[in-house]
Structure 1
Amino acid sequence: MSDNGEEVLVLVEPYAFRRGGHHQHALLALAQARGGTVVIAPNGVARDTLNALHQAGARLVTGAAGLPARAFLWAAGFLAHLSWVGQRLFRSRWWPRAVRRSPHQVTLLARCLVEAAALRTGGRQVSGPRAVVVLTASEGLHGVAALLGGVSHLRFVHETSTTEGTCLRMLARLARRAERRVFVLCPTPAVHDQMVSLFPRVVCRVRVFAVDDGRRLTEHEHDGGRLAFDIPGSETVVCLVGGWWPHKDIAVVDQALGLLTEPLHVIVTGHPLDEDVLARWADLKQVRLHVEPGPLSEAVLRLVYGASDATLVARHAGVGKESGLVMDAAQWGVPLIVSDHDPHLTARLGDAPWVRLFTAGDPRALAAVLDDLVRLPLPPPGHRAPARLGMPTAAEQADFLIDTAARLTAGKEDG
């Protein structure tokens, strides 16, 4: 229990070792908003995140505490390595589909064991009332994680990239009663619908994951960004932030840049990137390319956004998970160019003056929007933009998590 008698917020982040990004931003904002927060990082923590957590006064625990938790974490590491080997061994399409899927099933089990280790560790750190939240949770084996972890908890499930196979479904049935100790939070309606169809017995709710930290870009960061990339203030810039993952439609961006009729600076950041595509962009007549590879610290990322007249988000039609880049644009004050890949997101953004939508998968539509940006810059989003997207403040999110965890513990959340 905290010094003022309130419940302690316990945040589990298995991916705290990664630098920067959507999840780390929420972790830090919540820790800063709620004094005495305990952060469990079973796989370690990035240096930037470590320093920020210490400054926020959070209590950080890395690894696992207690014999069962250490055993779970060791087993998870072994299974993760086994999955890595299997993915390379069975990647050929000559193997039956079930065999090719098996390494991903092993990964799902490994992630469950990491969560169980973290939950048990969190249970040892706080003896009194607590609200335990897994910020980046696995999309399966919810009851198994609760049973092995021994703690009622909330779980943010961001996407459903892997489903439970036959063996894991049998394992999940053994822990079915423990599913009552789990409350799943889905950042978007699309993810919620997927979860409900896969796990009808688990209580699921829609709750935006990103939080508004109120730290909009400053004029100094706008000027500093242009200076950092050596871009004159009168020239137009878009940024393409984050690694080029399968849900992103880099092909449509590639084709659109080749259709531009106006000169445009493009800042590309993240990992992984395709060097062949970048080389092609560097040779385009209308494109001035700037590349910052690898995950960036938040300070550098803010300079990237500060230098930009808009951020570009291009996804394949039907992708429905929350976009941290869209949320960054709304809260930090950056105009947005985004594909209409998600009907729910499109409905929320459709008439916003700081947003330009283009048809997902249509390079000519994107090229037209980019050319228009050069001719007529977009205004920055207003201070109410985060609320328009359903983003709570960090303090509001912390209060919601604590209240929901209390209701779960009291048995008042029954779906």
Structure 2
Amino acid sequence: MTGPLVLIEPYAHRPGGHHQHALVALARARPGSLVIAPHGITRETTTALRKAKARVITAPSGTVAAVLMAGSRFASAVAAVGLCAFHSGRWPRAVRRLPHQVTLLARCLTEAAALRTARVRAPDLDAVVILTASEALHGLAALLGGQPHLRFVHEVNTTEDLPLRLVGRLARRAEPRTIALYPTAAIGKEATNHFPGLSSQVRTYAIDDGTERISPSERASGRTAFAIPEEEPALCLMGGWWPHKDLGTLDVALGKLRHPLHLLVAGHPLDEPTLNRWRQLPNVRLHLTRGPVGEQFLRLVYAAADAALVVRRPGVAKESGLVMDSARYGVPLLVSDHDATLTDALQDKPWARIFTAADPTSLAEALGATTSTPLPRPGPDASRLLGMWPATDQADFLTRAYARLLPKEPRC
């Protein structure tokens, strides 16, 4: 179990995020792996993959793959028009959902094109894995792709309406050719309700080889880069402001601060009116970086912070890349109790301060405590506590799981 893998990442063109980190880590663990990025790939990720001796493909191989990819692009264009045309609440719910259904179809066709490309370019590698897979049409992707594969399903954004369910039933015979991997038990439970016959397993997505902890010298460099004095408290708020993040609660809590606090914000998209309000607050020192950031700048921001801030809405239970980053880099954590499983794992850990989700007063108290009593850095065992594995172990797991999909050798 040391051979190359096929790693398919439909979002490799998006800078930032922990998708690229896992992609590169797995490629390093299995030199010679084939990386398929159907929508392109960032320059930083390409450079890292070349150093890992991975092969990178960004175009479909073969006629079938090219046709499937063309269909995906057409469906994506139709979905984009539909989102603009039917976003208004005056339309019936079924009509408003239609663009999202077309998006599911487009994602399925992209996956199928990548799987067909894998068949042409790497028919005999140890495992075929879609690192960020769609939450729907699993059997259709396997049927059109003609390739057994594993698929990491990170969240359930939308579900199949009747037309896609009918298509899914027609392709159900291909479901045994794929295994869904869910990063958290909650996501697995939700997805299994929709696909009870699909083989699945819970497996943490994030990877930690124990080599990325931020050093004292990096911390000093980070503080210098953002002109933050060593004795003044600083928190970082990383990533785009997506609907599952509870920025409204943070907005109110920052207004309750009684002592100055440096807040490092980096990501995309951000909300400008909210940022403007924070600039006016007397005890907030805002350091803003717009847009997705690369790995090196990400380390710089984490290095400058006394803790990372994770604020989510109650009930959000998908894997948090920010929580995993905190453990990988050795940065303390200020986190809402939105996810009962995560809260149980972090309870009584000295490097994590937990506050009540959707409660501005609880968050304000946690912020105040952080300004007066900094948290200690997490130890090297923090990653394993959160379920992370080294890249070599993750690659071995993927190889073993994939072997379950292959025909058994006949006994003599």
In the superposition, the TM-score normalised over structure 2's length comes to 0.98
Deviations 1:219-254, CA, capped at 9 Å, x for gaps:
221011101101111110000000000000000110
Aligned-residue offset at 1:331:
1.2
Counting matched residue pairs gives 408
1:32 aligns with 2:28: yes
* Matched ranges for 1:2-401 at <5 A: 6-214=2-210, 215-401=212-398
**Could you tell me which amino acid in structure 1 is paired with residue 230 of structure 2?**
G
- 1:380-403 Cα shifts (integer Å, max 9, x gaps): 000000000010111110110011
Query: Are the aligned partners of 1:48 and 1:297 in contact in 2 as well (CA < 8 Å)?
Result: yes
Q: Deviations over 1:312-362 (max 9, x none)?
A: 000000001000000000111000000000001111111111000000000
Shift of 1:260: 0.6
Give the share of equivalent positions with the same residue, in percent. 55
CA contact (8 A) 1:140 1:163 kept: yes
Q: CA deviation at 1:35?
A: 1.2
Aligned AA for 1:95? W
Q: Secondary structure at the match of 2:253?
A: helix
Gaps of 5+ in 2: none
Aligned-residue offset at 1:20: 1.7
The answer to whether the 8 A contact 1:7-1:128 is kept is no
CA 1:291/1:152 → structure 2, altered by over 3 Å: closer, same or farther? same
Q: How far does residue 8 in structure 1 lie from its aligned partner after superposition?
A: 2.8
Matched-pair contact (CA < 8 Å) for 1:76–1:109? yes
Contact 2:269–2:291 (Cα < 8 Å) also in 1: yes
Q: Distance in 2 between matches of 1:293 and 1:397?
A: 33
Give how far 1:17 is off: 0.3
CA deviations over 1:54-76 (Å, ceiling 9, x no partner): 11111111121101101111110
How far apart, CA to CA, are the structure 2 residues paired with 1:221 and 1:59?
32
AA aligned to 1:362 is D
Q: Matches of 1:143 and 1:59 in 2, distance apart?
A: 27
